[in-house]
Structure 1
Amino acid sequence: MLNAHSLNQDYLSWLDSNTTFEQLGPGTVRIDSPFTDAIDDEIVMYALQQSDNMILLTDDGWTLNNLAAHGITFSRPSHRQKLFHNQLVAYGVQLSDGDLVVHSDRRHFAEAKHRLLQAILFINDMFTLAPTEAAPIFLEDVAHFLTENNIRTNQNMAYVGESGLIHKFDFSIPGINQIPAKLIKVLSSANNSLLAKATLADIEQTRPIVPGPTKFYVFLNDTPSKHKSINPDILSLFRLNQIVPLLYSRRTNYLTDLTR
């Protein structure tokens, strides 16, 4: 039988063995992650020594340059720009001359690297599929669905998992009495298997430390405009680990479950 704990350990081992660190020069390390961006290039970060104990982590401007190549920019005041900056704040990431950066001491390096990677993944997932200002962003679609059905949520809830890393959830619905709390993640690139595995790891790291009964959901973007169906292996991955894969095209079918 598939075991959630062993699957989580397998994922963390895979992540460790497929992340490489290369010394580029004094005080400069290149970090290649196994995750890819919207054009299937590996996501790369750099660690720059700032002092004996301080490190600057940066994407060297790659994330925003890549989005700009797809016609997506955040230079003009807009709702999209506001959402972008709000998400950076949620991940504890700063924007510096077009670079996504995180400052960290040596002790918190792993947690800082994880936050920057999660922010890059989120930004690629949320914005690359919306090439015009008028195009909807899936996170906003989900937020509107919850609001119009009077489902009260908190956004950008973060938990420190067993490994000491921070795991962010896009929405949370508080529980009461015998009604479990609900933690929700949103995947726009619903067929990205690596992102699905990262989502599973986030949930499995969070599950043991949440207070009280909690159910986990993943909203998956399968809207008709995408002309796609979700890979059944991804659906099985979530279901076998007691995570509800919530297809957005069938979202109204889950209203009763989300409101109780």
Structure 2
Amino acid sequence: MKNSLNAQELSEEYFTWYKENTEYKNIESNIIQIDLPFMDNFSDEISIYAIGLNDGRIKLTDDGWTINNLEDMGVNIKRSKTRRKIFSHQIKAYGVSDIDDELYIIVSATRFAEAKHRLLQAILFINDMFMLASKNTNTLFFEDIALFFEANKIRAVKNVSYLGKSGLSHKFEFSIPGFKEIPTRLIKTMSYANNPMFAKSILTDVEQTKPLLNDPSVFYVFLNDTDDNHKINPDIITLFNQNDVKTVLYSERNTVINELAK
């Protein structure tokens, strides 16, 4: 018997789990360590830091963890002009800055929750995007999809954000505008399609955005199945399909050209 899932219930469960498993610890009078319930590529817990500034604002930072972690895995963003450009564009889409390998956001105290959400989403996306990147190539899964759209005259706009029903922003890697009976198509990507929590995070983006869209919309997630050493978790495909998110294996991308090119 098929086990059905409800996207709204799953989204609420995700937010509850996220809140209950996030820990805050004072490590100095003006610095709080925030331990988040997500794992990095070494299965270590992700932590970010909130630093109180003299002007009353808050700086949220990864303290250089994201880039240093990738370098420990042999992925050096700085040595490739192409990778550095893609990296810079992606973090800017989340409203995140970087200096000396540190990813950070500076905001007023009233915008703390939104900024924490954006920094975490940026860290998760950057780790997913670069995780399977070969040290000897400049192409990334996100860019491969962009080139696929361009080659097939699919008018996709990169990095479009929507304000969700919770008041937090949710970014989609690509948006294809609709017209009359043609729906808007919003697209997420998973380079490393074996991370259930990242998959639930994507589904939450969908569920938080869907109620606020005025026009008919269809949601897609492109999954990277090009690496034989990293198989796609079938539970992730089931999770998306049962919640009306169309999964597209990269090896089967040509099957959706007609519906995306409208």
Q: TM-score range by the shorter chain?
A: over 0.9
- Which deviates further from its counterpart, 164-173 or 52-61? 52-61
Alignment pair present for 1:157 and 2:170: no
- Where in structure 2 are the equivalents of 1:117-128 lying within 5 Å? 117-128=120-131
Aligned-partner Cα distance in 2 for 1:248–1:76: 27
The one-letter code sitting in structure 2 at the alignment partner of 1:208 is P
Q: Is there any run of 5+ residues in structure 1 with no aligned partner, and where?
A: none
- Residue 42 of structure 1 deviates from its aligned partner by 1.2
Alpha-carbon distance in 1 for matches of 2:112, 2:167: 11
Q: Secondary structure at the match of 1:101?
A: strand
Given that 1:181 and 1:214 are in contact with CA atoms closer than 8 Å, whether structure 2 keeps it comes out as yes
TM-score (norm 1): 0.95
Quote the residue 2:75 is aligned against: 72
1:251 aligned onto 2:253:
yes
1:85 corresponds to: 88
1:171-217 CA deviation, whole Å, 9 max, x = no partner? Answer: 00000010000000011011111100000011111111122000000
| Residue number among 101, 112, 118 corresponding to 1:109 in the alignment | 112
Separation (CA, whole Å) in 1 of partners of 2:206 and 2:195 = 17
Find the counterpart in structure 1 of residue 194 from structure 2.
Answer: 191
- Report the equivalent of 1:214: 217
8 Å CA contact 2:155, 2:261 repeated in 1: no
Within the candidate set 207, 226, 245, 1:204 is matched to: 207
For residues 175-190 of structure 1, the aligned pairs below 5 Å read: 175-190=178-193
Aligned to 2:63: 60
Whether the 8 Å contact between 2:141 and 2:191 is mirrored in structure 1 is: yes
CA deviation profile, 1:41-71 (whole Å, cap 9, x unmatched): 1111000000363100000111111111122
Alpha-carbon distance in 1 for matches of 2:136, 2:113: 35
Partner residue of 2:244? 242
Q: Helix, strand or coil for the counterpart of 2:70?
A: helix
Instruction: Verify the 8 A CA contact 2:165 2:209 in the aligned structure 1.
Output: yes
Alpha carbons 1:80, 1:133 under 8 Å: kept: no
Matching residue of 1:95: 98
Letter in 2 for 1:5: Q
Question: How much has 1:122 moved relative to structure 2?
Answer: 1.1
Number of matched pairs: 259
| 1:230 has 2:236 as partner | no
Check whether the contact 1:93–1:119 (CA below 8 A) recurs between aligned residues: yes
Normalised to the residue count of structure 2, the TM-score between the two structures is 0.94
Specify the code of the residue in structure 2 equivalent to 1:80.
Answer: R
Change (3 A) 1:102 1:133: farther
In the aligned structure 2, how far is the partner of 1:231 from the partner of 1:64?
A: 26
Q: Report deviation, 1:2.
A: 2.6
The one-letter amino acid paired with 2:259 is D
- CA deviations on 1:94-145 (whole Å, 9 max, x unpaired) are 1122211100111110000011111111111111211414253111111111
Which residue of the other structure, out of 6, 26, 32, is the alignment partner of 1:29?
32
For residues 122 and 203 of structure 2, the distance between their equivalents in structure 1, rounded to whole angstroms, comes to 16
Say which SS state the counterpart of residue 226 (structure 1) adopts: coil
8 Å CA contact 2:193–2:231 kept in 1: the answer is no
Are 2:160 and 2:172, in contact at CA under 8 Å, matched by a contact in 1? yes
Distance in 1 (alpha carbons) for counterparts of 2:16 and 2:158: 30
